[in-house]
Structure 1
Amino acid sequence: MSSATWQQFLISQSAQFNDSGEAAFITPDAPASGQLFDLSSNGLIAVSGDDALTFLQGQFTNDIKLVQEAAQFTGYCTAKGRLLALFYAFSINEIIYLQCPRTLIPELVKRLRMFVMRSKVVVEDVSEQFVILGLASADSAANIQHLPLHAHQSSQTPFGTLIRLPDSHGKQRAQLIIAIAQAEQAWTTLAATFNPTDSQQWDALEIQAGIPQVYKATQEQFVPQMVNLDALNGINFKKGCYTGQEIVARTHYLGKVKRRTLLATLPDTETAPQVGDPVLDAKQQEAGQLVRVAPNKQGGWSLLAECRLEAQSAGSIYWQEYELVFSELPYTLA
């Protein structure tokens, strides 16, 4: 079964897809204990071979050797320390998988292969081989069966690998990585307990958890600390050299980070805010840009905005003429 066939199956389950490949479900909510999300707008890169760990250790911000113990956030930078991608990395059967927006994957695979040289490493786009589903529940852990105790830990289920994600907005969350041949059966089984829910609502949960992302519009815009990758344990400052390491380390050791990604909301707006849009300070000067955006249930927008902390402390921050309302992140910034 291909991803196109998977989409057709979801359409038969009342899904509609937007241009970004995000699913919306037009059926009314039915009584259920949780929510089920199609996360097919994410793709996967598989990295395997005898030298895979050593190779990736020289590419990414985090200690990739620890990925065999737990999943992790990690950044992929240019030599100037700017993020090309923010991966959620995990290991299944000694293969390392790198999850990010599917639209980025072809160029990232090409770039990674450039640096393989003579190493025993295979880098593949395996997005067509798997389906990623999201699960969220506000009830007890028993509602998400096989749920690990701690975030980023994984467990095996009859359908595939389940990885617990950081909780968000009072909900426990996990993602399930399924071989595409089993995806229809998994969806049908899970939909008996979990309501199929719009993918954009998953994005809103990610935003509430303070999880940033890098998209085409924001590639090479951020040093990792600007999107709080250090606060998410996505940078290891003791692991040694990797591409962009000098800039990332200098930002860490030479003083407080002056730009951070903050959690905020916007009211209903005439036009939809977009990732990469500038945000302005009280003097209408550029203060940063939008990192992640999703509609919220209150009719406005949930978002993560990268911003100069000095500007945010000095007064209001705006997207167009609308003022951002900031909230506390669920983690502490240094």
Structure 2
Amino acid sequence: MNSEWQTFLAQQHASIADDQVTDFGAPQDELRAADSATVIADLSHQGVITATGSDTEAFLQGQFTNDVHQVTDEHSQLSAYCSPKGRMLANIRLFRRGELYCLALPRPLLEPTLKRLRMFVLRSDATLEDASETLARFGIAGPDAETLLGAWLPGLPAAVDDTVQHQELTVIRIPGPQARFEIHGPSGPLIDLWQALQSGGAIPVGYPAWSWLDITAGVPSLDSDTTDAFVPQMANLHSLGGISFKKGCYTGQEVVARMHYLGTLKRRMYRAHIDTDTPPAPGEPLYSPGGESSVGKVVLAQPSPQGGVDLLAVLQISSAEAGPIHVSNPDGPALAFQELPYSVALETG
């Protein structure tokens, strides 16, 4: 975490552990605020890799599931970095800051992703660096997010994935039940903007509240326990605009394309609620009653503002349709499925 940014957050009474803000002193109130009010949240649970050089675009095009040629100063994209077997090693949001390509991804996956990408640079003119300490970032979401942010940064991005450059700051509109934005930039301007938004009524919240908004938006996030576990379509990335089926080759492309053109999706990501006080960890297995073999895995889980736990999970479709599904063991808490804010295509392309 950027040291100046961390000092500022600590002055705002943030509890910080493992480079992320757990809360600002009232975790339950912060969850309720995320459900009904306008909130601001530190995003240091994300790391950022920057890439520069004359061959950068071509190099990245051969690595990720989405079409890097479509990334501009006005447009970002979700994408995935896959193994040769087509399994997601990391979920990524790719955006531009001038000549820089920026890859925002879960912090635990940054080091292995950076190391692996560097292995394949070879003679390409592309330099990749960990910029997590250079650039800071936070998010804003809620019913007044657009009004509050627009008062300080006119001309906000209108559509999901659109991007606006405002002096030193990059503003990205991301999926959510209400207006939701990420802001990336140097710590100084971000501190000024945070203070202005907070003065306007935005409520600071910790990582669990922001992660709960990801769950309501149906946006997956991997960690060390779920990396290399899912083909991108299993995590609904095709429904979130995170896969291009028209671009050329990239690592894992054969498997991803085969599933799209020649096969029917047998696993997909679901949103669900469970009546328990403790969120299951990412990668926690899911079972059908009486079953000995797991039928899926938890992707992401957080306490719900209404009590219990909300989660995203990748499941065998046949098992989900037969129901019920239980967490941790065949007698564990049962999943109550909830609607995703998008449809999921199951048929071949």
TM-score norm. by structure 2 comes to 0.89
TM-fit CA distance, 1:140 = 7.2
Aligned to 2:166: 157
Instruction: Indicate the residue corresponding to 1:176 in structure 2.
Output: 183
Unaligned runs of 5+ in 2: none
The question of whether the paired residues in 1 share the 8 Å contact of 2:20 and 2:207 is answered with no
In the alignment, which residue of structure 2 is the partner of 1:35?
39
Match of 1:304 in 2: 312
Structure 1 letter corresponding to 2:51: V
Kept after mapping to 1: 8 A contact 2:109/2:223: yes
Aligned-partner SS, 2:179: strand
Match of 2:327 among 316, 319, 330: 319
Q: Is the 8 A contact 1:34 1:143 kept in 2?
A: no
Alignment partner of 2:41: what SS? strand
How far did 1:5 drift?
4.0
Higher strand proportion, which one?
1
Q: For each residue in 1:84-137, what CA deviation from the matched residue of structure 2 results, as whole angstroms up to 9, or x when unmatched? A: 111011111021111011121122111111111111101111000111111012
Pick aligned residue for 2:265 from 252, 257, 277? 257
Residue matched to 1:247: 255
Identify the residue that residue 225 of structure 1 maps to in structure 2: 233
1:1-334 correspondence to structure 2 within 5 Å:
3-19=2-18, 21-26=20-25, 34-68=38-72, 69-139=74-144, 141-145=146-150, 146=154, 147-157=156-166, 160-168=169-177, 171-193=178-200, 194-269=202-277, 271-284=278-291, 285-320=293-328, 321-334=332-345
Distance 1:18 1:108 in 2: 22
Q: Mind listing any 5+ residue stretches in structure 1 that lack a counterpart? A: none
Alpha-carbon offset, residue 314 of structure 1: 0.9
Contact 1:33 1:143 in 2 (8 A): no
CA offset at residue 139 of structure 1? 3.4
CA distance in 2, matches of 1:256, 1:12: 52
Between the aligned partners of 2:113 and 2:144, the Cα distance in structure 1 is: 38
Deviation at 1:198, TM superposition (A): 2.1
Distance 1:213 1:245, change over 3 A: same
Alpha-carbon deviations, 1:306-327, whole Å to 9, x = none?
0000001112011131001101
Amino acid at match of 2:213: L
RMSD: 1.9
| TM-score, scaled to structure 1 | 0.93
Aligned residues between the structures: 329
* 1:283 Cα deviation from its structure 2 partner: 2.6
Q: Match of 1:304, as an amino acid? A: L
Tell me: CA distance 1:127–1:20, structure 2 relative to 1, closer, same or farther (3 Å).
closer
Instruction: Give the SS at the match of 2:20.
Output: coil
Judged with a 3 Å threshold, the aligned counterparts in structure 2 of structure 1 residues 21 and 187 are, in CA distance, closer, same or farther, namely: same
State the 1:159 CA deviation. Answer: 5.7
Counterparts of 1:226 and 1:177, CA distance in 2: 29
| Alpha-carbon distance change, 228 to 110 in structure 1, aligned in 2, over 3 angstroms | same
Q: Distance in 2 between matches of 1:244 and 1:98?
A: 19
**Offset of residue 141 of structure 1:** 3.2
Residue deviations 1:229-277, cap 9 Å, x none? 11111111110111111111111111210000101111123x4310010
